[in-house]
Chain A
Amino acid sequence: MARMDFEVVVLAGGTSRKLNPLVSQEIPKALLPVANRPVLSYVLELLEASNLKDLIVVAEGEDAALRIGGWISGAYVDRLHVEVAAVPEGVGTAGALRAVASYLTANDVLIISGDLVTDVPPGAVAATHRRHSAVVTALLCPAPVSGPSDTGTSGGKEKAKKPVCCNIVGLDPTRQYLLHMATGAEVEKDIRVQKSILRAVGQIEIRADLMDAHMYAFKRSVLQDILDQKDKFHSIKQDILPYLIRTQLNSEVSDNGVVKSESGMDNISSQNDLRWLSQHREIAPSAFQEPHAFSLKSLPDARRTHKCCVYISSESKYCARLNSIQAYSDINRDVVGEASHLSGYSFSAQNNIIHPSAELGSKTTVGPQCMLAEGSKLGDKCSVKRSVIGRHCRIGSNVKIVNSIVMNHVTIEDGCSIQGSVVCSNVQLQERVVLKDCQVGAGYVVTTGSDHKSESLARK
């Protein structure tokens, strides 16, 4: 039996268009290095720490699946039992789930996006889900503050530090139930709240400072039904979740009555059981002891209802999704900075990580919140601040790297200056290149003396 009757599906995604030119066929999104570790490893290690060792990883595209599978089997052999499934590209999260839905057997399913970097225990979401016997429970976290940190001496002046508003969330006064969720394009539109829900709850708290972290606990039977019935549904967040929220007072989901949720797995529960259980509900005042506001909702089951719950992580927990280039540099910065416990490395006294095999030239300084992976060489008089430098990079003299991410096997020649940029693997920066807020795709060669600002450079 699955642990605590939960199964875990990690949606690793494929090659996201948003992250061009960082991702490529060779490096799907899940393997994008964050502090020199694939981003997927953060999720896998979080799950491992929670004792969840049987996972299903779904990747978009055969290639991506192969690469992800290969990496997992190398890195997590004997630690995790992972099954990797490949789905065609562009099927969306709902499609990805549809592909693996038939393999699921446990009572509840925990679905985690592979690009999540967090330390919120998945158990908390699962426990909340269980406690409420909810149909779906979503993890909401305080929306991350985007943009470079204000301690940055340069860069991002024009990008004011502002929380990104990615979701508009409606909660009941006890902040346990999810009553409204607007995502994506809807955020810009007017908010339409269902009158029936409003009447049932009496009071809705609308918040824009919460972000859907894409960690959901679903009741398996309900999820499967929805996936079967609504074959138009493309994404969990855009379709399934709003659908469940919308219909929570008037449930169309086939068999998710109270009885079902109470009895859990009911393959063998006889008619007899159901009678007991229903009587239990009748007797137990607890059925009505939801927040008083909800008492209307739980009146006689003339209407069938289901519950959509939320787990709101505390401010102290780190939670971010790697879904944009900005988020990528933010997460990199945070993982070697304020959320350093996530990186799994031990920091030196200078609050940075320099691999012993890295070579530093004379008068080269590596500031705090930096990371220098193995085999990298820095020439003389270089300066590295708040940046991550990958493996086996060759960096010449008089190079300045600030607020940037340099991946593996990058060659940076003398006199370059890199600010707020992402330089992918195997890139060659020739002498005196100046990059500011740029992204350089893998294998690109930036010619001598060129000066780029806010550009995306990639091989055609």
Chain B
Amino acid sequence: MDMRRPPRTVSDPKVRQVGFVTPSVAPPTRSLSDAPTTVAAAAAALSASSPPSGEISLPGSSLSPVMIPPPRHASSDGRPSAPVAVPNPASSLRRDSLRIRVGSYNASEVVLGTPPSASPSSRTDYTASEFSEEAMSPWHGRSGTAKVASSFPGSSSEMIVMKTGVVGGGGAGSTPKSPLTTASVVKTLPGISEKEREVLMGTQNDGAGASKTLKEKTTKAERRALQEAQRAAKAAAKEAGAGVKPSAASGSAVAANTKQGKVVKPPPQKKDGPQIAPPSGTSEKKVVDRPPEKDRKKDVPAPRMQFDDKHRVEKAKRRAVVNQFEAKNRVELFRHLPQYIHGTQLPDLEGKFFQLDPMHPSVYKVGLQYLSGKISGGNARCIAMLLAFREAIRDYSTPPEKALVRDLTAKISSFVSFLIECRPLSISMGNAIKFLKNRIAKLPDAMSESEAKSSLQSDIDRFISEKIVIADKVIIRHAVTKIRDGDVLLTYGLSSVVEMILVYAHEVGKQFRVVIVDSRPKLEGQVLLHRLVAKGLNCTYTHINAISYIMHEVTRVFLGAASVLSNGTVYSRVGTACVAMVANAFRVPVLICCEAYKFHERVQLDSICSNELGDPDAISKVSGRKDLNHLDNWADNENLQLLNLSYDATPSDYVSMIITDYGMLPPSSVPVIVREYRRENLWI
């Protein structure tokens, strides 16, 4: 979720400037977290811009159109009566400070969930049991005025103190309004930060004695004036604050506000009086505005973890199950991808075998197998993961007081994050996880636990059979029609589907020859070669360096894929793009064999932003050639970085056809598959 924040901070200021968002939205956190500084800043901003009369000063600091008018009027109304609590000397100054303090005060109040209008009254009532202890002390502090008032012209922090005093006093006298139902809201009080509380506590001592008398003096008019002033100042402070630093925290603050806003909404509406209407309006707007925005954010997929962001990497590490030691010299362009010192993770994870509590053994085993490279290949990894989840679901029992749907989803998520630590997910796995979670979420509430579990297990079985096993069979049938006698088929690396196609074509009696192109460091092609030769196929084996020579004789290229993206880009084992490009140059048709469950709606233009880094040692060492030791200890050389990419993206231009379980289609039709078949088949 932390990944989502940056965009939010970026977008928030914009929204704010349009004037759509209530001023109370962003600054609260700021004024809460460090009230003095904000206020001071605001004070500075205001006093700089404001002419003596408060109302004129306000428009100067470009406020949101919606917000400003009511405060202006009100404040002008109330002003004459305000001085009661405050010494005369610097009315303009006082006004500013008033506003400012009020601003931050209001902000905190919003966080508290009390509507501005309601708060004074409840404040009055500070002895009322509705307020919790913590809540009380600040208010006590605020109600202290006398001394503070005298020290008024001093520093801004002093002003703050004074203001609070005034506010407190204002509420005290004669408010007929009942305390409302704020109690419940107050209890949710997390808003007041320690810091502020301290500040307020400090003030408490000063004014405790005098508070009563002052309270008595304030009239309703005063209070109203104060309120308006508060509102205006809050807006101003907020404005200033927004300029100073749009902090990441504002996002969370927004969320908090929205919540609180909802809670508070009813009371303000019930109230009467002109000055109350605007706030209720604002809070309403909060409620209305925010959720859609939230939803919007939900729709945007969370950006992948960027591993060049040190802060986040640190954070992620703390959560991580596997201790990860990052490799030192990483290639500049690929710093955002995770890369760890190879060989450190497995022993560490193995040592902790018995110490990870919530992990299901089979999930753990799959994780180990990912990490050690024992299971690789999109289908194999996906099946292994699903089977592990299946076992985990079978052994699952809902803990008391929890709902299966929620708890199991959380469990699966924790499994998934463990697996990600072992090795980044493939797209196929991502789709499978999405499917499973969707199934869990769609479980009817009435279903018993055992039924739910067995239904999920059969769902997983179905997914494996329909999306992988049967899909492969269909692909084979389709692909075989494209193989003619006398063909020379080229394949690259080791793709399970392509292997099955070749074997099947051989079994049905087609006469053809296979060219297996391979590449270091994995040399997966050798495995395929071994198996095909054992089955009696006629094979040629070569490395990718020779691709342009061997391509002359080739009539078809069959390639597997890790994923097919919606712009037709094929995401596959590194080297695939090269093969496809050469084939394209030689006018040899390139057929990609890929199950539809591996399709993804993402669009990717290069293989940089999303990829996986392998073990750099794998390319520096040549097995069987001990004399090639020039790259030993390469990690000690700061100027040397090795790049062992795992995947690359083949542009759709080089792809003649994609063979899926829904038939053979051109790469331009991938979005259709993604759109038409995803919803029906995966998610229902």
A residues with CB within 8 A of B: 1, 3-6, 50-52, 107, 121-124, 126-128, 130-133, 262-264, 268, 272-273, 276-277, 279-280, 283-286, 288-290, 292, 295, 299, 314
B391 lies within 8 A of A4 (CB): no
Picked from A130, A273, A283, A292, the residue with its CB within 8 Å of the CB of B361 is A130
> Which chain B residue lies CB-closest to A277?
B387
Question: B499 — which chain A residues lie within 8 A by C-beta?
Answer: 285
B residues with CB within 8 A of A: 347, 349-355, 357, 359, 361-362, 364-365, 368-369, 372-377, 379-380, 383-384, 387, 391, 394-395, 461, 464-465, 468-469, 472, 494, 496, 499-500, 524, 526-527, 530-531, 534
Q: How far is A286 from B469 in the complex, measured between Cα atoms in Å?
A: 16
Q: How far is A262 from B357 in the complex, measured between Cα atoms in Å?
A: 22
List 9 A–B pairs whose Cβ atoms lie within 8 Å, in order of A's numbering: A4-B354, A51-B357, A123-B352, A124-B351, A126-B353, A276-B469, A284-B375, A286-B369, A289-B373
> Which chain A residue lies CB-closest to B349?
A127
Q: How far is A133 from B369 in the complex, measured between Cα atoms in Å?
A: 10
Assuming the contacts A123-B350, A283-B469, asked whether A51 and B355 have C-beta atoms less than 8 A apart, the reply is yes
A284 lies within 8 A of B531 (CB): no
A289 lies within 8 A of B376 (CB): yes
Assuming the contacts A124-B347, A289-B374, asked whether A280 and B383 have C-beta atoms less than 8 A apart, the reply is yes
> Which chain A residue lies CB-closest to B359?
A4
New A-B pairs, 10, CB < 8 Å, besides A123-B353, A130-B353, A132-B374:
A4-B364, A121-B351, A124-B353, A130-B364, A263-B391, A283-B383, A286-B374, A288-B527, A289-B376, A289-B527
A283 lies within 8 A of B531 (CB): no
Q: How far is A31 from B349 in the complex, measured between Cα atoms in Å?
A: 33
Picked from B354, B374, B472, B530, the residue with its CB within 8 Å of the CB of A122 is B354
Q: How far is A123 from B372 in the complex, measured between Cα atoms in Å?
A: 16
> Which chain A residue lies CB-closest to B495?
A285
Picked from B365, B380, B534, the residue with its CB within 8 Å of the CB of A130 is B365
Q: How far is the CB of B390 from chain A (nearest CB, A)?
A: 9
> Which chain B residue lies CB-closest to A130?
B365
Assuming the contacts A285-B527, A289-B527, asked whether A4 and B375 have C-beta atoms less than 8 A apart, the reply is no
Question: B387 — which chain A residues lie within 8 A by C-beta?
Answer: 262, 276-277, 280
Question: A5 — which chain B residues lie within 8 A by C-beta?
Answer: 361
Q: How far is A132 from B368 in the complex, measured between Cα atoms in Å?
A: 9
Picked from B354, B359, B376, the residue with its CB within 8 Å of the CB of A6 is B354
A285 lies within 8 A of B494 (CB): yes
Q: How far is the CB of A53 from chain B (nearest CB, A)?
A: 10
> Which chain B residue lies CB-closest to A126?
B353
Q: How far is A51 from B350 in the complex, measured between Cα atoms in Å?
A: 14
9 nearest interchain CB pairs?
A123-B353, A284-B380, A127-B350, A127-B353, A131-B368, A121-B351, A124-B350, A286-B375, A5-B361
Q: How far is A454 from B605 in the complex, measured between Cα atoms in Å?
A: 80
Question: A286 — which chain B residues lie within 8 A by C-beta?
Answer: 369, 374-377, 380, 384
Question: A262 — which chain B residues lie within 8 A by C-beta?
Answer: 387
Q: How far is A174 from B359 in the complex, measured between Cα atoms in Å?
A: 29
Question: B354 — which chain A residues lie within 8 A by C-beta?
Answer: 3-4, 6, 50-52, 122-123, 126
Question: A126 — which chain B residues lie within 8 A by C-beta?
Answer: 353-354
Q: How far is A276 from B466 in the complex, measured between Cα atoms in Å?
A: 11
Question: A272 — which chain B residues lie within 8 A by C-beta?
Answer: 461
Question: A50 — which chain B residues lie within 8 A by C-beta?
Answer: 353-355
Question: A128 — which chain B residues lie within 8 A by C-beta?
Answer: 350
B461 lies within 8 A of A284 (CB): no
B527 lies within 8 A of A121 (CB): no
Q: How far is A451 from B469 in the complex, measured between Cα atoms in Å?
A: 81
Q: How far is A284 from B385 in the complex, measured between Cα atoms in Å?
A: 12
Question: B352 — which chain A residues lie within 8 A by C-beta?
Answer: 121, 123
Question: B383 — which chain A residues lie within 8 A by C-beta?
Answer: 280, 283-284
Looking at chain A's contact residues, the main secondary structure is helix
Picked from B357, B461, B494, B524, the residue with its CB within 8 Å of the CB of A276 is B461
Q: How far is the CB of B274 from chain A (nearest CB, A)?
A: 67
Q: How far is A286 from B494 in the complex, measured between Cα atoms in Å?
A: 11
Question: B496 — which chain A residues lie within 8 A by C-beta?
Answer: 283-285
Picked from B350, B372, B384, B527, the residue with its CB within 8 Å of the CB of A295 is B527
Question: A279 — which chain B residues lie within 8 A by C-beta?
Answer: 469
> Which chain B residue lies CB-closest to A122?
B354
> Which chain A residue lies CB-closest to B472?
A283
Question: B524 — which chain A residues lie within 8 A by C-beta?
Answer: 285, 289
A4 lies within 8 A of B353 (CB): yes
Q: How far is the CB of B602 from chain A (nearest CB, A)?
A: 25
Q: How far is A276 from B459 in the complex, measured between Cα atoms in Å?
A: 13
Q: How far is A47 from B361 in the complex, measured between Cα atoms in Å?
A: 18
Q: How far is the CB of A205 from chain B (nearest CB, A)?
A: 15
Question: B353 — which chain A residues lie within 8 A by C-beta?
Answer: 4, 50, 121-124, 126-127, 130
B361 lies within 8 A of A264 (CB): yes
Q: How far is the CB of A197 from chain B (nearest CB, A)?
A: 19
- The residue in A284, A285, A295, A314 that gathers the most chain B C-beta atoms within 10 A of its C-beta is A285
Question: B391 — which chain A residues lie within 8 A by C-beta?
Answer: 263-264
Assuming the contacts A124-B347, A127-B368, A264-B362, asked whether A285 and B377 have C-beta atoms less than 8 A apart, the reply is yes
Question: A273 — which chain B residues lie within 8 A by C-beta?
Answer: 461
Q: How far is A262 from B365 in the complex, measured between Cα atoms in Å?
A: 10
Question: A289 — which chain B residues lie within 8 A by C-beta?
Answer: 373-374, 376, 524, 527
Q: How far is A383 from B373 in the complex, measured between Cα atoms in Å?
A: 57
Q: How far is A51 from B384 in the complex, measured between Cα atoms in Å?
A: 27
A285 lies within 8 A of B376 (CB): yes
Q: How far is the CB of B328 from chain A (nearest CB, A)?
A: 22
B368 lies within 8 A of A130 (CB): yes
A285 lies within 8 A of B380 (CB): yes
> Which chain A residue lies CB-closest to B623?
A173
A123 lies within 8 A of B374 (CB): no
Q: How far is A456 from B373 in the complex, measured between Cα atoms in Å?
A: 54
B377 lies within 8 A of A284 (CB): yes
Q: How far is the CB of B574 from chain A (nearest CB, A)?
A: 17
Q: How far is A262 from B388 in the complex, measured between Cα atoms in Å?
A: 10
Q: How far is the CB of B593 from chain A (nearest CB, A)?
A: 13
Question: B394 — which chain A residues lie within 8 A by C-beta?
Answer: 268
Q: How far is A453 from B618 in the complex, measured between Cα atoms in Å?
A: 58
Assuming the contacts A4-B354, A4-B364, A126-B353, asked whether A131 and B369 have C-beta atoms less than 8 A apart, the reply is yes
> Which chain B residue lies CB-closest to A4?
B361
Picked from B351, B379, B461, B526, the residue with its CB within 8 Å of the CB of A123 is B351
Q: How far is A279 from B473 in the complex, measured between Cα atoms in Å?
A: 12
B465 lies within 8 A of A276 (CB): yes
> Which chain A residue lies CB-closest to B461?
A276
Q: How far is A52 from B500 in the complex, measured between Cα atoms in Å?
A: 45
Q: How far is A5 from B274 in the complex, measured between Cα atoms in Å?
A: 69
Q: How far is the CB of B354 from chain A (nearest CB, A)?
A: 4
> Which chain A residue lies CB-closest to B351?
A121
Question: B530 — which chain A residues lie within 8 A by C-beta?
Answer: 288, 292, 295
Q: How far is A127 from B361 in the complex, measured between Cα atoms in Å?
A: 10
Q: How far is A126 from B375 in the complex, measured between Cα atoms in Å?
A: 18
Q: How far is A280 from B527 in the complex, measured between Cα atoms in Å?
A: 17
Q: How far is A299 from B532 in the complex, measured between Cα atoms in Å?
A: 12
Question: A122 — which chain B residues lie within 8 A by C-beta?
Answer: 353-354
Picked from A52, A268, A284, the residue with its CB within 8 Å of the CB of B379 is A284
Q: How far is A52 from B496 in the complex, measured between Cα atoms in Å?
A: 40
Assuming the contacts A50-B355, A288-B527, asked whether A283 and B380 have C-beta atoms less than 8 A apart, the reply is yes
B377 lies within 8 A of A131 (CB): no
B469 lies within 8 A of A292 (CB): no
Question: A121 — which chain B residues lie within 8 A by C-beta?
Answer: 350-353
Q: How far is A126 from B350 in the complex, measured between Cα atoms in Å?
A: 8
Question: A1 — which chain B residues lie within 8 A by C-beta?
Answer: 395
Question: B373 — which chain A residues lie within 8 A by C-beta?
Answer: 289
Q: How far is A262 from B383 in the complex, measured between Cα atoms in Å?
A: 12
Question: B531 — which chain A residues lie within 8 A by C-beta?
Answer: 288
Q: How far is the CB of A2 from chain B (nearest CB, A)?
A: 9
Q: How far is the CB of B597 from chain A (nearest CB, A)?
A: 13
Q: How far is the CB of B217 from chain A (nearest CB, A)?
A: 67
Picked from A123, A132, A277, A295, the residue with its CB within 8 Å of the CB of B355 is A123
Question: A127 — which chain B residues lie within 8 A by C-beta?
Answer: 349-351, 353, 364, 368
